[in-house]
Every structure is written in structure tokens, then in C-alpha cells.
Structure 1
Amino acid sequence: MSQSKNRKQQFLTSNPVCCFCGGVSPSEEPDHVPSRAFFTNRQWPEGYEFPACVTCNRASRHDEQVVAMLSRLYPESSNSADSAAIEKLMVAVSRNYPEVMEEMLPTLRQKRNAAKKYKLELQPGQTHADLPLLSVRGPLVNSAIHSFSRKLFCALYYKHAGQVLKSSGGIAVLWFSNLQIDEDKIPRELGNVLSGFPKLERSRTNLDDQFFYRWAIADTKEVAVFLAFFRRSFAILGYVHQQADRFELPLGATIIRPFQAE
């Protein structure tokens, strides 16, 4: 047996059930969360492989392409590898999910409204049509974010709670664009709650500038909270509860269940 196959088998033996579908399926392969497409040169953080069945591993691949593309849009990188990666992702999304690309193109009215709402100043000679804005609040983009969030928070809960989010559990998801982050829309009180700071690196290279999160888990491990940032493009807030029917919903949150539990 090759060294890589041996490592894979050891991983699956140590993690015998899929962490994305309530533990109802045996694990069949490791899944990288977030996927390697989110990171420069595909160098993802060490220790962020999670046990998945084949169905769960494949379930969100197109949605992950969309979210990985969004994560790389801001700030614009001068790194040639990043520029090539975003171009590749845009081609992939255009091929696999062309409706998303169409949905993200804002109308002139939407640009004008955004400029007024977020107090964006036009540069000399610039019109509202020239503003480098995208529409990210459409149903398709939101669906992709929610699909990715299910996998992200099931994985992070498994990592830090040491157990699978059961089929009876759920995740309340809120997400924030870069403009909303700049407007300080993320609840400030979370700063006093989220005391966990992970170490995110590969080969001693810190990856916090690409992906970073804070977390907290109750002593009972029934409840957890995670706040994840993806470069400076957006952030996702996830409240995890082992009993979804006991949620006290944050305003505007969407409840997501583990795969096969909906």
C-alpha cells in the first residue's frame, strides 16, 4: 500500500462516519473544508480534512466553486497565481452555473442605490455605471452560500466539538458582504463570546489573510457559534444546535440541516 493510501485508510479508520449527513453514512474519503480552491496555490490549512461519504463530498462542488470565486474578488490581488485562479474559477462557474454570473450583474439602479446606501463616492469622470460592484443578494448566490455553510459549519463543529452534528441538529446562518462588514453590521457582542482562535497554516505559512474564524462551544457541546472570514470579501456567522427545533432564531437567519436531514 502506498504512503498516501495508508494515510487515507488511517484517517478513515480514525473517523469512521461522515460528519456532513448526521453520521448516518460511513466515511469513504477525506474532504477539504474549505476546499483548496479558496487558497493561493491550493495550499489549504493543515488539519482541515474531514470524513465524508461520496455523496456528501460531491453534493456541494458547484456551490463551492461559486463561493470560492466570491472569496477571491476582494481585495483584488496582484499575485499572478491568484489572478490565474480567479480567472479559472470564473470560467468554471460560467460553465457549470451560468445563471449565477448573470444574477451577479447589477442594474444601473442597483448601483445607484448601493452608492447612496454605502456612501460610495464617485471619482472625477466616473459614473455609477463604472462602479466595480456586484449583486450578491440574489437567490442563487444565497443558495450557494447556504450550501457551502452547511458543509463549513458541520466540519468546524466536528473539529472543535469532537462529534457529528446529528440529523436532528441545525445551523442558523447569517452572512455579511464586505460593504456590510465595513458598516460594522456584525454583532459586536460576539467579540466577548468567541474566544477560540485556530492556528491556520501550511508549512509554517500563515493563511489568516485568506481564511480565518473564531469560535465558542458550550460545555455541553449542544450549542456552538462560529464566525468565519474569507479574505476581505465576506463573512459567515453560524449558530449550531444539536436540536434544531430549540433554536431562538437571530433576525434574518436561515436554518440549514445536515445533508439527508431536510
Structure 2
Amino acid sequence: MRIQMSQLRPLLKSHRILMTVPGMKDFQDTGSTCNPEAWISYQEDLALDPYTTFWGTSGTALPRMGAFSYTHSKLNKAISVGRFTSIAKGMTVMGAKHPLEWASTSPVFYNQRLLMRTYAADHGAELGTTKYGYTPGKISIGNDVWIGEKVTLGHGVAIGDGAVIASNSVVTSDVEPYTVVGGLPAKKIRDRFDAPTVQALQASQWWQYAPENLTHLDVANPAAFAQQVLEQAEAGNLRPFQTRPLTAKTIAEHLEALGTGTG
């Protein structure tokens, strides 16, 4: 599914989604640096929260992403992102898996697309094929995750809340919450905090609350911050931040109102 940028810009404004470059000063300019005729792709399960940011050309594909997260990288359709997450430039997803347990890893034996169909027609050949049932898994990036530059993610990995991925890492397995990982393949470097603090931060679920309830707390002291969130929540002083995400249905209704359809 896709929509042209000229048609998308009113939705970016109304849903408070920022497509920006350095120096942009007015939210009304969101998406203005993009080619108005460019096609922006999205999936049927699109759920893009307000107050998300796409830097540069990273917004050519709309993902599932939570409020106050930003990305410098184009996000693969398999990726979903939580709130308050930071994604640097150059994040990619590994290419298709090949059957390394077979005699040959070549797609000639299991994925005969145009090239091999052309070969068969040119030579009057009848090709056999073996079923290879691999399906790429979804990638889940939690809340308050920081992903450095040029990180590669494997299919199906889950990155826990509060995790940090060092630049140039290749993530081939799940990353536990509040751990710092790096390398090729990425391995645990250290825990961000001691176990009680991690438990308190996870219990607080602080990312579900409105920023005005959080930014006055002691964020520089993780243990105190978590305790303050828990106490304020118990006292009923915190307001969950409810969102109205941009969805495929929203886009369809918008295009219908314009008298057009999805591309």
C-alpha cells in the first residue's frame, strides 16, 4: 500500500508526525523537503503514533512506531518500535536466509523467479523445485531503546525495553531489557543498572505516561526516577498518554475524501 507525499502531508500535520531535516523551524513544514510526487509505502497493520520523528529520507516507509521515538533509518516493514526509542543512521535488516543445510544455498533450487523462468523458456527446460519454508520473523524494538549507527538486525529478534545497541553491531539473538550489547555478533557488554533499579524501571512502565508528568522527575538518578514514577502512579497523579495513531484505515478514509485511492 502506498500514498503520495503531497496527499500524506495533511495527515502528517494533523497527526503530529514530523518528517524533518536539520534547520526546520515550523511543524507546518513537516514533509516539505520531500518530493511531493514520491510514493510512501505502508502496511495494513500500520500504527504510527503522534510525536514521532523521521529524519532525512527515513520516512519513505511508514512503520509501527510509538510516541516520542525517532529514526534516521528507513524501517523495514517487519519492524515495530515502542515509545521513546532512538534509532541512528544506517540500521538495516539482514537479507533473506538461505538453506545452508542443503547441498546448495542457491535460490535456483527453491526460488525460481524471473531469471530462472527466462532461462527455462530460452532452453525449453523443465526445472524442478524444492520447498524452502523459511519465513522472516517480525522484529520487535521495545521502549526507550537506543540503537547506534550502522546496526544490522537479524530476522525475528526482540530488543527489550531500555536496551542499548552499540554502533556497527550485528544482532542475531534477542537482547534483554536494560543491557548494553555490541559486536559481531552482538554480545552483552554490561547491564545498564543494578538489578533492583532495572526491576523498578520495568515495573514503573514510565513510557506509558505523558511527558509533563515525567520531565519534572529525577531522570538523572534512575533508581529515584523509577521510585518517583511508582509513587506518583500509586497516588493517581500520573496521566497515561493516550494516542490516536495514523493507521491504514485513516489513510484510506483520507484518500476517499480526496477522491483518490491507494496506490
TM-score (norm. length: structure 2): 0.25
RCO higher in 1 or 2 (8 Å CA, sep ≥ 6)? 1
Higher helix share: 1
TM-score (norm. length: structure 1): 0.25
